[in-house]
Amino acid sequence: MSDFLLEKGNQPGWGKVLKSVGAPVPTKLKRLKGPWVKQVLAGKKVAYGSASGGINPAVFNSVFNDLGNSSVGSTIPDGEKGGALVFDGTGITTVAQLKSMYEFFHTNSIRRLAPCAKIIIVADVVPKSIEGSPEAYYELCTVQQGIEGFSRSLSKEVGGKGVNVNLIRLSNAKEATDKALLPYIHFLLSEGCAFVTGQVFEINVSTAPQQIAPLEKALSGKTAIVTGSARGIGEATARKLAAEGATVVVLDRPQDSEAGKAVAASINGKFLGVDMGSDEAPVLIADFIKKELNGGLDIIVHNAGITRDKTLANMDANQWDMVININLNAIIKTNKELLKQGLIKENGRIIGLSSTSGFSGNFGQTNYSTTKAGVIGYVRSISQTTTDKKITVNAIAPGFIETQMTAKMPAMTQFFARRLSNLNQGGQPTDIGDMITFLASPGASGMSGQIIRVCGGNFIGA
């Protein structure tokens, strides 16, 4: 079922009628329709601000110039509509300095933002130990955590216009270079970030790119496997990876081989028929990599998953076991086999699919929510063991995404699920594919052990 308010509300006649009765009319999001484009700021009005003592402004000026805009000011000019706002809050160490953030965004208010504009706030990673006097440490932790609350609230205030607000946290922020920041700012200011808002991207500056990362055809020469990719989110992800130059293996059940082979053929990829619920799956995947991918894989995306929804009282053991086996055990066993055999290359990427239900739980989904929360714990822990080969491990937690599965939900359930997001609508499979493609790229080397929610800032679990 389509979103009536989104479709009709963006038509001139219907839009007026719906707004006159107080209906929440979503802004149609601008999504990335092709491969990455480097100069995402070309032709846009951009404002940049900072607190004193932050990152050298020359670093940001270099980034803006690389992204196609060399005339960034401190405010959006009167009568103009802003395409992007960037604020550096790394210099904020006292409560009084928080006012600088208020002043920047108050001046460049929502009234000066174009629909689907982008906002980035940069902050320090909140330190876990005392540095300097205890009082200064307490205040630093207080204000840097406060910045996160500010960014999440702002994302709710501007979401009605389709505007995204995201926070970048930097370890060793004072050492951040334009090369380290460029890939993250590029993605968060691009149309690939249409449904990602109210999120925190924690970047380890020491492992972030030290050279200029490719921002076009970023995955050229890379090989990727996407499980469960004959349709839905998996298919969208396979297409996005291929658009950036990767050779993609479409992996799905043998009974879905016709659809899977069609997707593979359309992106010049390969098809592998494997049931991820079988005990043989990890070995079959490993053998395929050795025979068909010259013994090495750059990217694996664990997308395959199922639901068997029942309340716990009515759930039989088979419904529990099937979901646990495919959604969680298959990921753990496959990664173990590939890592043991050294089949994931240095600088490789492991990306899992969690869910907002892994944070919040869902009625009738104790099995599913257990697996999606399990993916979170697994990613955070295994990421600490893959640093020697510079392999990053991250997960995506989708919210309400318009798929065949959600289309089967009752109409009112769909309606309220869409309205729960800051952006007042559901996401598309391509939104997940865009986020996965970024995490798979060389520019994302500074992120590992993280779970990014692609949920439009959904109130539940956000």
Catalytic residues: 368
The beta strand positions in 198-241, using DSSP E, are 199-204, 223-227
Report the alpha-carbon distance of residue 233 to residue 429 in Å, rounded: 5
Neighbours of 275 (CB within 10 A): 17
Q: Phi and psi (nearest 5°) for 30?
A: -90, 115
Report the alpha-carbon distance of residue 311 to residue 368 in Å, rounded: 11
Neighbours of 93 (CB within 10 A): 19
Look up residue 127 and give its DSSP letter. Answer: P
Of 63, 141, 146, nearest in space to 100 by CA: 146
Neighbours of 103 (CB within 10 A): 11
Burial class (CB within 10 angstroms; exposed 0-12, middle 13-18, buried 19+) of 106: exposed
Torsion of CA 246, 378, 169, 30, to 10 degrees: 50
Report the alpha-carbon distance of residue 211 to residue 129 in Å, rounded: 31
Looking only at the bridges linking them, the beta strands covering 270-273 and 247-252 are parallel
CA atoms in the 13 A half-sphere facing the CB of 435: 30
